[in-house]
Structure 1
Amino acid sequence: METNPLFAEERKQKIVDLVTEKRKATVDELCLRFSVSAATIRNDLRDLEQQGLLLRTHGGAMMKTKTALEPTSNQKEVRNLQAKKAIARAALALIEDGDTIILDTGSTTVELARILGNRNNITVITNDIAIAMMLEGSEKLNVLIMGGLLRRNFHCTVGAPGISMLSAFSVDKAFMGANGFSLAKGATTPDMNHAETKKAMMAIASKVVLLCDSSKLEQPSFAQFAPAEAIDTLVTEAIDGAARAQYEEAGIEVIVAG
């Protein structure tokens, strides 16, 4: 039984912070983090769920949020940053000198753009204004910016003008971001217009690479832009063995960033 109420409240707040940051956490993970029993963690999760601060799941808890709610680009940039940097480094290894690529908008693709100068003679098509500005100074890269409606607070374009532009091109690889990915629901995003733009990006690529940190796996968002079988390669920073086996059985190459 918990004998220090102050410590219990501090622990519960840290649990909420952790689940909010990672979007989900297991009982085992929380036991290890806070050096308490599984029974204590389950009691904490029950209390926090009753307060409306999270949702209990089988074996853990997840962030309480609506699938259609999307954090802004600035909010995304600070979430799971080290994981995104690791994913970006692993993705860079898939890019060869002379490649033509698509960089979808997103906080993980921004991290890939930061290190793209390590490659030569790359042509980049992007709908992300921040990525375009980041790459404009490199003489090794050619950058094409997609037109369309500028999404306020997301520094990217969506819609018919950009989709129409893409029909004139073919690229070697598309590096896509997502708000959620699962075998059942595929790759998903909260915005329907953005989903259509993502579909058009993937349609012109010979290979589709999904950059997705582990907090988004098996966490579907609102609008699907690709079924799971349309993804050639998944790059993530962590995945359990059973899930990895399921993805690979479905024909998806899984790369775990070190």
Structure 2
Amino acid sequence: MNEGNTDVLFAEERQAAIAKMVQELGKVRVPDLVAFFKMSPATIRGDLRDLEAKGLIKRTHGGAIPGDAPPVGFEPDNTDKTAKALPLKQAIAKRAAGLVEDGDIILLDAGITTKAMCEYLQEKQNLTVLVNDIEIASMLEHFDNVSVVLIGGLLRRGFHCTVGPFAVKLLSELNVDKTFLGTNAFSVRKGCTTPDMNQAEVKRTMIRIATQVVLLCDSAKIGKNSFVQFADPGEIDLVITDSRISAQHLREMTEAGLEVMVEHVG
């Protein structure tokens, strides 16, 4: 293990670094992590508990080994995502588009499901659509009924979207009627989570500026946790998912006070 960095990292950054070390080294020990990060043993053990709860590592006596989950920070790019669960995403997208009213100012989060909403927006009138996804902006450019506001920022390679402080600043100065939000994972305990810290901050801002927040989440993502939380369940006004959701997950969500709209998929 390399000599430690004396700079104090935020908890999220430190845990990301720990998870990466576990994946690369195959095994780490608490004393080594204490020395490397200049943190107390109690803090490091807390980090390991959090990472184990997310499925990123497995704790051992005095240390940790890799878990079954992919390495922290892993996320399939949009090419891989498009091929997975596309019928589910299209069904969810169609239902979500039905919530859009003429004259609305809406925000579409980056992602495959929000991109699929575009074809169903052509029949609406006088829409203003904010996007940080270059592909979505390109699609909407051809719709005469839509004014497109493209949010600038740092390009996230492989995902065709903008993130970073400039994107957050631009978004924070605006207000929208509805935000249609994607997520990598959702659970009643942890809320909405994503592997990328920059993406998480953009999503938090998208939530803050909206009158209504609609989460588009296919059933495969429910009951899962990723690395960074960007929304508590209570910040979501409506969840749209598909009929493959388990009865247990649906019950947990409704008992937690979430409004859930289930779109039937054959």
TM-score > 0.5 by shorter chain: yes
Could you list the runs of 5+ residues in structure 2 that have no partner in the other structure? Answer: 1-67
The percent of aligned pairs where both chains have the same amino acid is 47
User: Is the contact made by 1:171 and 1:206 (CA closer than 8 Å) also made in structure 2?
Assistant: yes
Q: How does 1:199-210 map to 2 (within 5 A)?
A: 199-210=204-215
Give the C-alpha shift of residue 149 in structure 1: 0.2
Find out whether 1:251 has 2:261 as its counterpart.
no
C-alpha distance in structure 1 between counterparts of 2:218 and 2:103, whole Å: 27
Which of 87, 106, 110 aligns to 2:92? It is 87
C-alpha distance in structure 2 between counterparts of 1:249 and 1:94, whole Å: 24
Q: Give the partner amino acid of 2:152.
A: G
Match of 2:174 in 1: 169
C-alpha distance in structure 2 between counterparts of 1:211 and 1:155, whole Å: 19
Greater Cα shift, 163-172 or 123-132: 163-172
Q: Give the partner amino acid of 2:162.
A: T
User: Is the contact made by 2:222 and 2:249 (CA closer than 8 Å) also made in structure 1?
Assistant: no
Give the C-alpha shift of residue 67 in structure 1: 4.9
SS at match of 1:210: strand
Give the C-alpha shift of residue 160 in structure 1: 1.1
C-alpha distance in structure 1 between counterparts of 2:121 and 2:190, whole Å: 31
Q: Post-superposition, which runs of at least 4 consecutive aligned residues in structure 1 deviate over 6 A?
A: none
Give the C-alpha shift of residue 162 in structure 1: 1.4
Q: Give the partner amino acid of 2:157.
A: R
C-alpha distance in structure 2 between counterparts of 1:99 and 1:245, whole Å: 32
Which of 187, 195, 199 aligns to 2:192? It is 187
Find out whether 1:119 has 2:124 as its counterpart.
yes
Q: Give the partner amino acid of 1:257.
A: E
Q: How does 1:136-151 map to 2 (within 5 A)?
A: 136-151=141-156
* TM-score, normalising length: structure 2: 0.71
Aligned residues: 196
Match of 1:106 in 2: 111
SS at match of 1:115: helix
User: Is the contact made by 2:109 and 2:133 (CA closer than 8 Å) also made in structure 1?
Assistant: yes
User: Is the contact made by 1:67 and 1:220 (CA closer than 8 Å) also made in structure 2?
Assistant: no
SS at match of 1:76: helix
C-alpha distance in structure 1 between counterparts of 2:151 and 2:83, whole Å: 26
Q: How does 1:1-258 map to 2 (within 5 A)?
A: 64-238=69-243, 239-258=245-264
SS at match of 2:80: helix
Question: Over the residues paired in the alignment, what is the CA RMSD in angstroms?
Answer: 1.3
Give the C-alpha shift of residue 248 in structure 1: 1.8
C-alpha distance in structure 2 between counterparts of 1:206 and 1:84, whole Å: 24
C-alpha distance in structure 1 between counterparts of 2:217 and 2:123, whole Å: 22
SS at match of 1:101: strand
Give the C-alpha shift of residue 137 in structure 1: 0.9
SS at match of 2:167: helix
C-alpha distance in structure 2 between counterparts of 1:159 and 1:116, whole Å: 28
Q: Could you give the per-residue CA deviations for residues 1-48 of structure 1, whole angstroms, max 9, x where no partner exists?
A: xxxxxxxxxxxxxxxxxxxxxxxxxxxxxxxxxxxxxxxxxxxxxxxx
User: Is the contact made by 1:232 and 1:251 (CA closer than 8 Å) also made in structure 2?
Assistant: no
